[in-house]
Amino acid sequence: MRQFTIAGLIGTAAFLLIIFTLPHARERVDSYTTTIQDPTQAHWQVQQSLIALGSGGWFGVGLGRSTQKFGPLPVAHTDGVFAVAGEELGLMGTLFIIGLFVMLIWRGLVTAKNARDSYGALLAMGLTCWMAYQALINLAVITAVMPFTGMPLPFLSYGGTSFTISIIGMAILLNISRDAAMSREARRQELRQQDTLRAEPAQRVRERPATPTADPSEPDPTLVAMHMDTEFNLEAIDMRRRNRRGNLPRPSGRD
């Protein structure tokens, strides 16, 4: 939390320094404050952007039928491309574009969360925040929420450098996402192998042949021996009794 506080203070100080030292930056801030006080006196580009957005209505005037991009709206193919999209596609089209950017940001955050290592997570988070920052600034400028800047809209604004860098960033994000998916699949296979190795000993125990049981029709040898000992003991007791009565010789052993 302390790092964010320090970064915020440094950013605020740099912003104020730029405003008070650079004339064109101060002019943009003055234009923004004028727009808030009186929208009719807003910056020319902001005025034309709002006119283009308002002319589209719910469903727009149709693709290629925008009139603002042919003169009144400056840099319509770069910074003002969202205003042109609003005029040609209407409110529904602009909401669809915003939804695509929201989905892109969400998938970028999921990719950062599921990255295999910290490097991939930080790289994915940085690329996602960078694209989100560009889109947010461009939309805020077009809708007169913040002072005018020259921030392009990723994947929509015309420009070789901006479009190329955006494509490279998206390729890196896709690579991190694919690597994370492959790591998860490898982990699942490893867990399946471990489960198989754990299940093999129990399977061998279940498949081990059972000890053959004795035939129920045959007498148990242990019971037979116990029965013979009992008979011998009874016979010996009987002979002792006879010996006491008739002086018969004592038995010397089993018959």
pLDDT of the residue at 124: 94
Structural domain contains residue 143: yes
pLDDT tens-place string over residues 203-229:
665 665 555 555 555 555 665 556 566
In the block, tokens 């290592």 appear at 117
pLDDT of the residue at 176: 92
Residue range of the domain that includes 158: 44-186
Instruction: Tell whether 69 and 178 lie within a shared domain.
Output: yes
Instruction: Tell whether 29 and 77 lie within a shared domain.
Output: no
Structural domain count of the chain: 2
Structural domain contains residue 214: no
Structural domain contains residue 138: yes
pLDDT of the residue at 255: 45
pLDDT at 159 over 90: no
pLDDT at 97 over 90: yes
The model's pTM is 0.63
Instruction: Tell whether 96 and 161 lie within a shared domain.
Output: yes
Instruction: Tell whether 20 and 76 lie within a shared domain.
Output: no
What integer is the mean pLDDT of 8-19? 79
Instruction: Tell whether 102 and 165 lie within a shared domain.
Output: yes
- pLDDT: is 36 or 184 the higher one? 184
Instruction: Tell whether 64 and 175 lie within a shared domain.
Output: yes
Structural domain contains residue 226: no
Instruction: Tell whether 99 and 37 lie within a shared domain.
Output: no
> According to the 3-state scheme, what is the secondary structure of the chain?
CHHHHHHHHHHHHHHHHHHHHCHHHHHHHHHHHHHHHCHHHCCHHHHHHHHHHHHHCCCCCCCCCCCHHHCCCCCCCCCCHHHHHHHHHHHHHHHHHHHHHHHHHHHHHHHHHCCCCHHHHHHHHHHHHHHHHHHHHHHHHHCCCCCCCCCCCCCCCCCHHHHHHHHHHHHHHHHHHHHHHHHHHHHHHHHHHHHHHHHHHHHHHHHCCCCCCCCCCCCCHHHHHHHHHHHHHHHHHHHHHHHHHHCCCCCCCCC
pLDDT tens-place string over residues 161-202:
888 999 999 999 999 999 888 877 777 777 777 777 777 665
Structural domain contains residue 252: no
Distance CA 150, CA 80 (A): 10
Structural domain contains residue 113: yes
Instruction: Tell whether 58 and 123 lie within a shared domain.
Output: yes
- pLDDT: is 131 or 19 the higher one? 131
Instruction: Tell whether 29 and 73 lie within a shared domain.
Output: no
pLDDT tens-place string over residues 45-90:
777 888 888 888 888 888 888 888 887 777 778 888 898 888 899 8
When pLDDT is cut at 50, 70 and 90, the band that residue 11 belongs to is confident
Taking Cα atoms as reference points, which of 114, 86, 111 lies closest to residue 98?
86
Instruction: Tell whether 36 and 65 lie within a shared domain.
Output: no
Structural domain contains residue 221: no
Instruction: Tell whether 68 and 181 lie within a shared domain.
Output: yes
